[in-house]
Structures are given as structure tokens and as C-alpha cells.
Amino acid sequence: MADHKISRRTLLTGTAAAGALSLTGVPARAEVNWKKYAGTKLEVILAKGPRGDNLQKYVKEFTELTGIQVESEQIPEQQQRQKCVIELTSGRPSFDVVHISYHVQKRQFEKAGWLADMTPFMKDPTLTAPDLVESDFSAAGLQYAKNDKGQMLSLPWSVDYFILYYNKELFQKKGVAVPKTLDEMVAAAEKLTDTKEGTFGFVGRGLRNANMTLWTNFFLNYGGEFLDAKGNILTDGPEAIAATKLYQTLLTKVAPPGVAGFNWMESMASFTQGRSAMWIDGVGWAPPLEDPAASRVVGKVGYTVVPAGPKGQYSATYGDGVGIAAASKNKEAAYLLCQWIVSKKQGARLLQTGGGVPFRNSILNDAEVQSGVKMPKEWLQSVIDSGKISKLGLPVVIPVAEFRDIVGAALTATLSGADPAAELKKANDQFRPILERSEKA
Amino acid sequence: MSALTQSTPGAAQSDAAPEKELRPPSYWPFVVPALVVVLAIIIFPWVFTIWMSLNEWKVGSSTTFVGFSNYLRLTSDPRFIEAIGHTLVYTVLSVLLPLVFGTFAAVVFHQKFAGRGFLRGIFIMPMMATPVAIALVWTMMFHPQLGVLNYLLSLVGIPPQLWVFHPATVIPSLVLVETWQWTPLVMLIVLGGLAAIPTEPYESAQIDGANLWQVFRFITLPLIMPFLFIAGMIRMIDAVKSFDIIFAITQGGPGSASETINIYLYSVAFTYYDLGYGSAIAVVFFLLIVLLAAVMLYARQRMVWTEIASDA
């Protein structure tokens, strides 16, 4: 039989240890009561994609942890956005937790007051694990998640930086160095274009609306700002014109024919078939590029940051987050779920499969997490480097879709030879009243 | 008539009956369910749409009554005016081409030859496919660098085309998909028509020494005209409101070169959430469809009249 008597020595050791602990200054902290909302049922609406998959695959772990049941549905992005807006407008959404695209919906959701304020939850130690602190999120993430009053209206989930993908084999064949500046990129693209062989130096989105996410990389690197202090749109100034000229040159001189109608899908097809040497797009395409079943350039892809422009080097940044519907009756339980979604474990899984990039620095900079990344090391490096030069890629206004459509159409028009300055001016004249109307409303 | 009624015995009897029992049978309770349904799902949405079109109505903000200003905005909206043009071109082409090819295919498949049933089955397969799925397949077939269409052209020495990726060729290319998918429908309708034609006119034409073209032009075509008319009507309604193929392949692009009213309406209402303006577009679009249908009906009436006239 074991002896259960406490010896004097053990007692002393224990006391000393407790005393030492109090000396380290760690405050006595209440534990998160994960089981407090057991039995609650939550509804989640997700945009279809790797983030949604990652949640659905492991959500049982959350249920085991908390006893909260989660029903979730994934809907294609555009339709999901519409469904959310329509349901939230009705005042009685069918979901508690909503997956939002910051670069499209941030301002709209804030202005309409559709999201619950998470700030008090984040301060409550019985609801929030000690490692979840605001300062752990990247600057872009906080910019997206907070409103003007500094309230956290969502938790930043996954960030999308734009990076430069390049085909190492084609670069080697033509003896071209990886460009560090936008000018070098044009020169490299010219050398890499070989119309006889049907290979081109550059490919990227030309399709109206979609093309804006590419163009803003150039715009930011030429020193462009979307709005002035009074909230007027600035996309017809000299920076915008210079960026558009670059865009026009790249997409008409060194890009595959028909690029004016390309979205990411067609661009990726051209790149994965080895028919284009460079491609600037979101960071999330590494998995298909490295998939032998879908790509001919497996192992030959280089990943790097968007080249610098004359006024700086930025990576246009987009992203999504999770928020709680203000109309939800289960806000605390929903908050636990949001917290789990952006937790270290889930974030690491997302990063390691290349399905997304967590906004949390503690995940991104964790050596153990990094070592588990299945994508090439260069990809991870480009992600980390992009985080340092990240800048929001679209103006934070309500009519983002109109902005993308109108300025995007102007860009597409320049691909058929229209003058950049005239097109941008026309687009701005068209967009200004729309913006004014939406801000007044 | 009235004289006859008065003299019928039944009428005399009812005259004799006491007035209280003479209540006319009341049918209106039977009409109520249908009336409620019509009111709820047809009349109400329409009245509501018209009401919305008179308001500045953005999702997430309050609504204000603005009278006809949404309609005035339409007249100076270059995207809307362009969209009308695109819709008309798209509609005319995607009605005419399937009609021509469908009639031709019907005449071919009306002949008796080995494996006819099997080939007919193959021919109508495009019609059974899901538009969005085939749209994605066609998008890749149109790809200027990697698409199979440019490869096929290169085999016969034709330089590569830009298909849906160039403003000038985007609508014809989309019509190509539409034609590929809906020619079989026209063929089926016309085949039905061909089966109903008596053989006598053909026999007498043979005796008179008519050639194949004359037989088609003067016998087959007039006799299948009513069927072609139905096919044309169905195609027109489908083509005007075509959405899935255009949206999935080009989303109205490049630029706005293939933006039809339907696509623009969708953007305004569900991407810009401008419900007031979107409703105004919907109302104008509806009027346009009514106008087109009226033109078709007028043409049909004239056709029936000439048929009777020629019979006489």
C-alpha cells in the first residue's frame, strides 16, 4: 500500500515552489470555463474554401472541448456574401457566427451595426484564453477587425497577401534574375516573352473587378492612397495613372493574348502549364501549383514578395475574419467558437496545408508550426516577408463592389488601347457620386 | 338569342318559381384560393417591385421616396444603355442560329438511316447538361493559350482567336455555347412537326420534278412554320433572360462587353445592394420583354391570317 503521508521535506518544497511562482509576477488568473455553454447549438455561415474546410474537418474537437453543437454550411463566396447581407438586413439571421470578407464587407457591416462587440469578451478571463491578445494580431488584421471606436467586431482569421510567383525553369533558360523592382519586372518579362514558343513574361487578372486586386499592388508601390482625409476617392491622380500605365504595358506587351478576360482561374491555368513566367496573385495558390495532378510546374515555382515601386514596397493585403451576429442569442458560446477558429491549433493546420495564413504572429513565427508547413520553404518566407510590407489593398468604403467594377472596367479598357488618364478620370467621375451617396445614407 | 331563351320551357319554369330561391349560383368562393395565390406570388411582388423602384433603397440603410428619379438615372446610365444593346444582339443571334441549325438537323434526322435513334440521342445530350457545368468546360476550351478550340483552328491553318476574352468576339462566342446547347431543343420541336406532315405533297412535288431545295422551301418550310414559331418563342424567352452561361463564363466582361440587362440587374441588386435602382431596371426589363412578346404575337397572328388566306 502506498504511503500517503506528506513528509516535511515535500511540504517545504511545495511551499517554496509556490512562493517562487508568486515572485515571478504571474497573476492568479481565472481559467476559461469552456464547458459553461455546453448544450448550446450554434449556426455558422461560411464562404466556401480551405478555411471553411479546415473548420468543418476539426469542429468535433470544439464540441468535445465545450459541449457546444455546431451546424455549419459553406456557400460559394459571392452567394454567401449576398445571403449574409439579406439575412442580416432582415434582423433575424439564421446564423450566430458569420465568416466575412474584410476587403469587401468591413465598412458595410460596421455601418449597419450587424456585428456584436467582442471587446468585453476579450477582457473576460473566463471566456478568453490568456494567449489570445489583441497585440498578437498583425496590424492589418486589427485595422480590419476594429471599428472607428476601437471595438473589436470580429476576430481576424486568414490574411491574403499578394505575392509574385515565378517559373524558375523559364528564368534559368533565359538567364533572367528575379526582379526586385517593378521596372526590373517589366524588363524581365520582356526577356521571358517568346511568342514563337507561346510563352509570356507575365500573367495576371485582366477581368473587370477581379483586376483591381492586382492593380492595387502597383498603385500602392507608386505611392498611391485610396482616400484623402475627407474621404474623397483619389484613384485618378498621378500615382494611379503611373500604376495603370504599368498595368497596361504588362498586360498588353508581355502577357498572353486574351488576358483582358482572365480571372485568377485562367491566369493560374497559364502559369501551371508553364506558359507564363510570372504571376502576381493571392498567396493561397501554392497548393494547386504544387499539386502534380493539376500542375506542370511542380517544384519549379519560385515565391517572392511583390517587387518594389518608386515610392515603396507593399503587398496588397486582403483578408477574412469571423464575427458574431449582433442578433445572436448565444453570443458567449459564439465567441468561444470564434476563439477556437483563430486558435493556434487551427491556425497552424491552416498554414501547414497552405489553405490560408493566420493573422496571429504567434502562429506564423512559431518554429514548430513552420516546420510542419507542407508547402515549399520559399513560399513560407514570402508569406512572412509580405506580412512586413502589408497594406490594405482596397479602400474601406461601403460601395467596394462598385469601385472595383467601375475602376476595373477602366483598367480593362486600357488593355484595348484606351488612355489611362482619361479612363481613370471618367471612372472617378462615375464613382464619386456613388461614394457620396453611400456615405450620406 | 333572347327570344329563344324566353320560349324555352325551363325559362318558363324558373319564372314561376318563388324569387327567394332564385339566387344565382355563386362561384366566387371557388375562385378565392387561386386569387390569393395569384395575388401573393404575382401581383404583390410586382406592385412591391414598382414601389421599390420609386425609392432610394440601399440594403443596410433607410429608404426614402424619390419618385421617378431612379428611372431618370437609367436614361443617363451608359452601362444600362449598353446592356440593352448587348441583350438585343445576344437574343437575336441566339434565336436565329439554333433555329437554322435545329431545322437543318431535324431534316437530317427525319431521314431514315442506320443508327438514327442512337445519333439522335447523342445529339440532344448538350440540352441535358447543367448550364453552369458546361460553362466552366467551355471557359477552358476558349482559353486562348491552352484551349482546344484554338488547337482545332491551328490544325486547319486558322490563327488563334481570343473568343470570350476579347470585347469584339465575346458575344458571338457566348452565342456559340448557347447554340450548341439549344439547337437540340429546336430540332426536337421541328422533328415533331416533320412527323406530322402528310406525304402527299412530297409525292406530287416529285411528279412535278421539284428539286430538294424547292421541296424544302415550298413544302417543308411552310408546313413546319408553326412549329418553328413555337421554337422561336421559347428560345426568345430563354435568350432574353439568359444568365447562367454569361455569368459563369465572363461575368459580363471583358470590361462590360457582354453585360446584358440581366447581368447588370444582378450586379446592381445583389452586388451593389441598390434595390431601388435594381427594381427600376427590373421594371424596364419586364416592359422590354412584354414588347418583344407582343411583336412575336403580332407576327404570329399575321402568319395565321396568311395561312387561312392561302387556304381560301
Q: For the segment B164-180, what is each residue's pLDDT rounded down to a tens digit?
A: 988 899 999 999 999 99
CA B46 to each of CA B41, B286, B293: distance values in angstroms, whole numbers, following the listed order: 9, 10, 18
The per-residue pLDDT for B254 is: 87
CB contact under 8 A, B254 and A108: no
- Partner-chain contact B252 A208, CB within 8 Å: yes
Tell me which of A88, A404, A438, A440 to substitute to probe the interface with B (most B C-beta atoms closer than 10 Å).
Answer: A438
B159 CB near a chain A CB, below 8 Å? Answer: no
Which pLDDT score, from 0 to 100, does residue A21 have?
45
Judge whether B231 and B185 are in contact, CB under 8 Å: yes
SS3 A398: coil
Select the more confidently predicted residue: A25 or B166.
B166
Whole-number Å distance between alpha carbons of A17 and B292: 88
Name chain A contacts of B61, Cβ cutoff 8 Å.
Answer: 111-112, 438, 441
Share of chain A above pLDDT 90, in %: 79
Instruction: Check CB contact under 8 Å for B272 and A416.
Output: no
C-alpha A181/C-alpha A178 separation (Å) is: 9
What value, to the nearest 5°, has the Cα angle with vertex A103 and ends A100 and A106? 60
User: Would you tell me how many other CB atoms lie within 10 Å of the CB of residue A62?
Assistant: 22
Q: At what angle do helices B44-53 and B275-311 cross, to 10 degrees?
A: 130
Using CA atoms, how far apart are residues B132 and A318, in angstroms rounded to an integer?
28
Q: Please check the confidence at residue A419 and state whether its pLDDT lies above 90.
A: yes
Cell numbers representing residue A44 in the block: 455558422
Rounded to whole angstroms, the Cα distance separating A167 from A205 reads 18
B256 lies within 8 A of chain A by CB: yes
Nearest to B144 among A257, A263, A265 (CB): A257
The pLDDT score that the predictor gives to residue B230 is 87
3-state secondary structure of A303: strand
For position B312, what pLDDT does the model report?
40
Separation between Cα atoms, residue A141 and residue B138, nearest integer Å:
39
Q: Is pLDDT of B2 > 60?
A: no
Q: Is the pLDDT of residue B98 over 90?
A: yes
Q: What pLDDT score was predicted for residue B57? A: 85
